[in-house]
């Protein structure tokens, strides 16, 4: 475990619980909250990025990619399970899922 | 007016607190009027309207909002003040704890008034005593001068980096808040030099380095923050003494954690808070002329409570009457429990008992105080306390 995760003593804390630096949500791993797991299916994904936009934990990874016609675009590159808390918003709002023919994001019970 | 001169003025307690606020010149005041503290903010609003201060005065819709606005303004890096009484303080309850736990050095004038019901506008200490566990430093005052002086010291204590806690300056409703007394209002520049500039601690308005205030702290952190808060309160003990000493050197009026009045050789002692101390002193002077060894210990700092100093000051006493002007239903008065606790570790303990008086503004006359000393004399002679806890001046015995 890195020092970052070591619990601080009372006299090492900032006054009044202030968090002095910004952008530290990435240090808080909400993945431990998850009871249901979204599973991204690359073969069915149309890379509309709806899941990436809606994800409250910013758990969808992006990569540079191209359309079939060679136009540059951003593409989904899987899910960061350290931060995915299993809310299921992506599963519900995925336009591929909504059409009901194929599933681009499955939702399965976490193994206990 | 000569530089550095203090003015002798006849002014109400509330007027004096407004003067202190004008001199402290906070960045933000958020308040909702409530009797008997209303005039503090009325007078201050006049200072704002007249351009004597550049304070942002926020007229909110409730005391809960008042303390919430104070909290936000303080976290945003401002020096912040407010005033209230009674149910107003009760409505601030949630935010009082948060202000203290978030270590915001907010300053509050509390004009002590009974809490409903029945609806009552007069003085007792039920409001501030109920807030004694909220984490605020509590300073009490016998008269206008002490209340004003306490408020001038309040920012220096509150903003000290070993403390960084909110301060409540308490004075008795109507008896002090509305009574005109002659007192010294110190020179603005001298006061401002004593108080100094405010240094924000991780301001929310610092857009270069934006902090987060009010985050979560669960079972792996909450108790560490509480321990830090407890230590800050203990640190306040010394800081209050240091600041009071500096104040005395600058302005010539001496303050300590409490006041000892003819206490050195006193056998029978009353311990009390706020304005009633004036009457008690008068009775003591009279009884002393008859050779009676009586004295007073007047509380100034109730939080943090100076246990060991008080025990030392009461070491010579044979019997102590603790006067509580508030009730903790189903328990002894809050001052009594502290005093008896303070005395417990002494090798030989004085006798000590508790009387509740003055709830909802019920008067305690000089004759009533003489009766207290007569009773303590009887107890002392009998070597036994007949009644440990009782109400004074209540119909039906």
- Strands (E) located in A1-94: 36-40, 60-66, 72-79
Of all residues in chain A, the percent with pLDDT exceeding 70 is 96
Q: Which of A10, A13, A16 sits opposite B104 (nearest CB)?
A: A16
Confidence at residue A67, expressed as pLDDT on a 0 to 100 scale: 93
Confidence at residue A21, expressed as pLDDT on a 0 to 100 scale: 87
Provide the ipTM: 0.88
State whether A7 and B215 contact (CB < 8 Å). Answer: no
pLDDT at A3 over 80: no
C-alpha separations of B157 from B92, B165, B247 in Å: 22, 8, 11
Confidence at residue A1, expressed as pLDDT on a 0 to 100 scale: 46
State whether B202 and A14 contact (CB < 8 Å). Answer: yes
| Distance of alpha carbon A57 from alpha carbon A110, whole angstroms | 18
State whether A17 and B225 contact (CB < 8 Å). Answer: yes
CA torsion through residues A17, B101, B256, B28, sign: positive
Closest by CA position to B336, among listed B290, B376, B299: B299
A-chain CB neighbours of B209 within 8 Å are: 20-22
The model's pTM is 0.90
Chain A residues with CB within 8 Å of chain B CB: 7-11, 13-22
Count of residues in chain A: 112
Query: pLDDT tens for residues B72-127?
Result: 999 999 999 999 999 999 999 999 999 999 999 999 999 999 999 999 999 999 99
Query: pLDDT tens for residues A70-81?
Result: 999 999 999 999
* Number of A–B residue contacts, CB under 8 Å: 54
Confidence at residue A25, expressed as pLDDT on a 0 to 100 scale: 82
B-chain CB neighbours of A30 within 8 Å are: none
Query: pLDDT tens for residues B268-306?
Result: 999 999 999 999 999 999 999 999 999 999 999 999 999
Chain B interface test: which of A12, A15, A27 (most B C-beta within 10 Å): A15
Chain B residues with CB within 8 Å of chain A CB: 101-104, 164, 201-202, 209-215, 217, 220-221, 224-225, 227-228, 231
Confidence at residue B1, expressed as pLDDT on a 0 to 100 scale: 45
Confidence at residue B20, expressed as pLDDT on a 0 to 100 scale: 98
For residue B330, count other CB atoms closer than 10 A to its CB: 5
State whether B104 and A15 contact (CB < 8 Å). Answer: no
């Amino acid at each position: 475990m890195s020092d970052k995760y070591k619990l601080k003593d009372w006299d090492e804390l900032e006054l009044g619980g202030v968090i002095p630096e910004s952008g530290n949500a990435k240090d808080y791993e909400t993945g431990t909250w998850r009871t249901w797991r979204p599973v991204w299916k690359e073969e069915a994904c149309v890379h509309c990025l709806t899941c990436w936009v809606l994800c409250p934990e910013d758990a969808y990874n992006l990569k540079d990619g191209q359309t079939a016609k060679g136009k540059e675009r951003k593409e989904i590159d899987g899910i960061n399970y350290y931060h995915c808390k299993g809310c299921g918003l992506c599963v519900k709002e995925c336009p591929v899922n909504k059409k009901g023919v194929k599933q681009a994001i499955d939702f399965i019970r976490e193994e206990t | 007016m000569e530089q550095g001169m203090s003015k002798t003025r006849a002014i109400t307690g509330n007027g004096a607190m407004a003067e202190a606020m004008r001199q402290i010149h906070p960045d933000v005041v958020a308040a909702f009027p409530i009797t008997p503290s209303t005039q503090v903010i009325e007078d201050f609003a006049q200072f704002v309207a007249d351009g004597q201060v550049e304070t942002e005065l926020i007229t909110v819709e409730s005391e809960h909002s008042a303390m919430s606005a104070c909290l936000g303004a303080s976290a945003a890096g401002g020096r912040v003040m407010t005033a209230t009484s009674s149910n107003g303080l009760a409505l601030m309850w949630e935010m009082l704890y948060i202000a203290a736990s978030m270590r915001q050095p907010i300053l509050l004038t509390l004009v002590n008034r009974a809490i409903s019901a029945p609806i009552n506008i007069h003085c007792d200490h039920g409001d501030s005593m109920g807030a004694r566990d909220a984490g605020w430093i509590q300073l009490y005052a016998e008269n206008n001068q002490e209340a004003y002086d306490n408020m001038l010291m309040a920012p220096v204590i509150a903003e000290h980096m070993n403390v960084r806690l909110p301060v409540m300056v308490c004075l008795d409703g109507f008896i002090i808040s509305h009574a005109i007394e002659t007192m010294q209002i110190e020179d603005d520049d001298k006061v401002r030099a004593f108080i100094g500039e405010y240094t924000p601690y991780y301001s929310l308005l610092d857009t270069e380095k934006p902090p987060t205030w009010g985050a979560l702290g669960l079972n792996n952190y909450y108790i560490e923050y509480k321990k830090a808060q407890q230590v800050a309160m203990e640190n306040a003990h010394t800081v209050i003494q240091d600041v009071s000493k500096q104040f005395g050197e600058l302005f010539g009026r001496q303050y300590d954690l409490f006041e000892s009045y003819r206490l050195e050789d006193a056998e029978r002692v009353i311990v009390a808070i706020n304005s009633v101390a004036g009457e008690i002193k008068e009775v003591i002077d009279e009884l002393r002329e008859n050779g009676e060894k009586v004295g007073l210990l007047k509380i100034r700092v109730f939080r943090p409570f100076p246990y060991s100093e008080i025990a030392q000051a009461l070491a010579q006493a044979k019997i102590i009457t603790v006067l509580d002007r508030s009730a903790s239903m189903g328990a002894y008065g809050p001052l009594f429990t502290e005093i008896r606790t303070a005395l417990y570790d002494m090798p030989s303990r004085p006798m000590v008992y508790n009387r509740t008086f003055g709830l909802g503004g019920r008067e305690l006359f000089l004759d009533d105080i003489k009766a207290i000393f007569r009773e303590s004399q009887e107890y002392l002679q009998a070597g036994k306390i007949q009644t440990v806890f009782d109400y004074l001046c209540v119909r039906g015995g």
